[in-house]
Amino acid sequence: MGLHTLEEWKAKAASLTYRNQAFINGQFVDAISGKTFDNINPATGEVITKVAECDAADIDIAVKAARASFKSGVWSKKAPMERKAVLLKLADLIRDNLEELALLESLDMGKKVEDAVAVDVPGSAMFWQWYAESVDKIYDEVAPTAAGDLAIVKREALGVIGAVTPWNFPLDMATWKCAPALAMGNSVVLKPAEQSPLSALFLAELAKEAGVPDGVLNVVPGFGPTAGQALGLHDDVDCLTFTGSTAIGKLFQQYAGQSNMKQVWLETGGKSPNLVFADCKNLDAAADMAAFGIFFNQGEVCSANSRLLVERSIKDEFVVKLKERAAKMQPGNPLDPDAGMGAIVDVKQASNVQRYIQIGKETATLVCGGDTPTIDGKGSFISPTIFDDVTHDHQIAKEEIFGPVLCVIPFDTEEEAVTMANDTEYGLAASVWTSDLSRAHRVADALFAGTVSVNTVDALSPMTPFGGMKQSGFGRDLSLHALDKFTALKTTWIKY
């Protein structure tokens, strides 16, 4: 039984008030140009609200506000315990506004509202709390030196952080970037994805209510080629942190070189393998998690386990189990507690996923799915799709689809499985299913991935870093390591 019925969620959605202006220097303001863009509900195709369309002029004002707040010391010079108190209050406010934030996530990008209630919003609050509680426990260093010398190594906030976040987990990705940046005393200019800006704008309002000073957290909705590019090229941004596609990540590296050589931290694409060995004793659990790993959030997850490598002797049995689970995960109204999946974020993304499905149909075996149902004749939906008999060098096994499409690839030996798993330009995540402890360690060591989950999928925690290798980027979100992105080390050497 869900938290509310479909009708109850619809009633709550109808009563929402949307923050649809930019949030700059503590105030909601229109874009300087006066332009707006339609914010569309992918489950219905209807316009939710019109959002301020920021461009380079608005970015410049937001960066100036962030710089002024940083230089004033109103946040950057606060004692860590003072910043901690404010961010803890923000975590509590997120919890207090659980259902409204969950609805914004669901209406904005199509995810199931009950997933947002159970995962996204509580996760955001947890991450804010975790970084708040960490900030006064980070110690500086005294280097070993000769008598008469004192060398002190301190972490110092960088200044103005530009953050560009994706549409698949709007609130959580804003949190992953902003929480550690603010905890260390920086000021932030956040550009959320144009498909899903609403929860980030509400987050800014809650941050002000919690006591974050004006100018310290600014949110500028807009499009990548205008607002995103302007943030990447701005000479007064000290660091740019980004989660999104590999192609756009490469652009931000170029922007840094064309401007002030700002630090750029990237978490980009993925094509994560899930290796299931015949010695796995609980194939039902493996099938449950394999289905979750590709169909959760409609497969719109950078670390989605989209390549399933299964030992040939159990492959057919395992595919049957997966088909049974896919049948129970059919898309529905994202506000419906009984829906198995939600909507694809927009028509463009749905069309791109369908293009890959058509490619798969031409050469692989379609086990299930591949169709585009509608709810009451509306919406961008794709049913959970499984392809069998996929070769590991096939286009659908190589390229990131970012949708509910699973490629099943058989293997005969451990060496073959590892070779195929690593034969990709990406290296974000991987999973391994085995009851052999030695194999678990051996395969995990051999896989090129930032996170290897053994006998589970996509394991993450505020205590462990999340990020990739190769063209999945090199930034690390979560854990104390995330603080490294937003601080510089300063050595002060004193002779006495």
> How crowded is the C-beta side of 53, counted as CA atoms within 13 Å?
12
Q: Which two tokens stand for residue 260?
A: 């002030």
Question: CA 358: distance to chain centroid?
Answer: 27
Set 194, 267, 300, 311: catalytic member: 267
CA proximity to 78, closest of 185, 212, 216 = 185
**Packing angle between helix 98-109 and helix 198-210, nearest 10 degrees?**
160
Contacts of 248 (CB under 8 A, 6+ apart): 224, 228, 242, 268
The secondary element (H helix, E strand) that includes residue 429 is strand 429-433
CA distance 291 to 159: 43
Q: Which residues of 453-483 are buried (b: 16+ CB within 10 A; e: fewer)?
A: bbbebbebebeebbbbebbbbbbbbbbbebb
Set 54, 239, 280, 302: catalytic member: 302
CA proximity to 360, closest of 385, 389, 322, 387 = 387
Is 267 one of the annotated active-site residues of the chain? yes
**Packing angle between helix 170-183 and helix 198-210, nearest 10 degrees?**
30
CA distance 228 to 233: 9
Phi, psi angle pair for 26, to nearest 5°: 85, 5
CA distance 333 to 339: 6
Contacts of 4 (CB under 8 A, 6+ apart): 12, 337
Which residues are catalytic, by number? 267, 302
